[in-house]
Amino acid sequence: MKEKIIKWYKLGLWTKEMVQNAVLKNILTQEEAEEIINE
């Protein structure tokens, strides 16, 4: 799932807020979310 979220974020389909929501839903860790957002 992480790879899909990275792709969606890079394509602009996901926002920073959506990535953070994935952390709240235990799909990503906070560290993974920060990696995605800061790439």
What are 7-18's pLDDT values in tens digits?
A: 999 999 999 999
Q: What is the mean pLDDT of the chain?
A: 98
pTM of the model: 0.88
Q: Is the pLDDT of residue 39 over 90?
A: no
Angle, vertex CA 17, rays to CA 11 and CA 15, nearest 5? 15
CA–CA dist 35, 30 (Å, integer): 9
Its domain, for residue 25, covers 2-37
Structurally, the chain folds into a number of domains equal to 1
So what's the pLDDT on residue 13? Answer: 99
CA quadruple 32, 7, 22, 27: dihedral, nearest 10: -70
